[in-house]
Amino acid sequence: MEREIARQMKVGTPVVREALISLQGQGFVRRVVNTGTYVTKFSHEEIRQLYSLRVELEVIAYQWARTRVTHADLQELRRQVGVVVQAGEAGNRREFLERDYAFHRRSWALSGNAYLSDTLDRLMAPLFAFVVLASEAPLTASMGREHYELINALQDLEEPEFTRVVRKTLSGFAGRWLTVFQLEPSVEAVSNPASQTDQTDLTGQT
């Protein structure tokens, strides 16, 4: 199948293979030895665990960002939230979600740790692409305004109040999406996940 994709795209087979490896590294596909390459899909348990981990890592990102953030950074974050709010007021779901994700990516980068930022991006990008964007959950301007809590915390709060507010806000975001996915809202880590992944074969192997 790699040869067929290469023929259709008019590129060499190694290019296709490298592209699939890159997509695998980003979490967009899963490669199963002697079986095939599949588009990533998530079980309910995997979604729960991803959001649990996301909250813990994002709290760390904000903790590290607090001591580094500048006035210009805060202004940029406020601008980004303003765009999210405008999208909510216009009822533009895709714009809302894409701008929301951009805000979080900017916040992760402010941690000053490229590895943490990259880990969060790799963790959330597939979930965002395959689950969040595909949902029909209503998105409102008031939901966008909730992000100002994070900016205000970066600007005004000291520990331990800072971490309390950030964790509460992020847990609220996670709980809302877990409810959308008809899961029990919980941000506690769960061990030994049951794999229920529904897969779509990209390579044609069986």
pLDDT tens, residue by residue, 120-171: 988 888 777 766 777 778 889 999 999 999 999 999 999 999 999 999 999 9
What confidence tens digit (pLDDT) does each residue in 58-106 have?
999 999 999 999 999 999 999 999 999 999 999 999 899 999 999 999 9
DSSP-assigned letter for residue 131: I
The 10 Å Cβ neighbour count of residue 61 is 23
| pTM (two decimals) | 0.73
Tokens of 45: 């348990």
- Domain boundaries defined on the chain: 2-42+192-201, 45-180
Residue whose pair of structure tokens reads 């303003």 in the numeric block: 82
CA separation (Å) from 39 to 15, 43, 163?
A: 18, 13, 36
What confidence tens digit (pLDDT) does each residue in 24-67 have?
555 555 666 666 666 557 678 888 888 999 999 999 999 999 99
Q: Which residue has the higher pLDDT, 18 or 45?
A: 45
Phi first, then psi, for residue 33 (nearest 5°) are -60, 130
Q: Which residue has the higher pLDDT, 68 or 187?
A: 68
**Residue 177's pLDDT band (cuts 50, 70, 90):** confident
Question: Is the pLDDT confidence value at 203 over 50?
Answer: no
Tokens of 47: 């979604």
Class level of CATH domain 45-180: mainly alpha
Predicted local distance difference test score (pLDDT) of residue 172:
94
Pinpoint the alpha helices (H) of the chain: 2-9, 13-25, 44-66, 71-90, 93-109, 114-127, 141-145, 148-156, 161-180
Predicted local distance difference test score (pLDDT) of residue 148:
98
Average pLDDT, the chain: 80
Predicted local distance difference test score (pLDDT) of residue 187:
38
DSSP-assigned letter for residue 112: S
Predicted local distance difference test score (pLDDT) of residue 26:
52
2-42+192-201 fold: Arc Repressor Mutant, subunit A (1.10.10)
Predicted local distance difference test score (pLDDT) of residue 92:
93
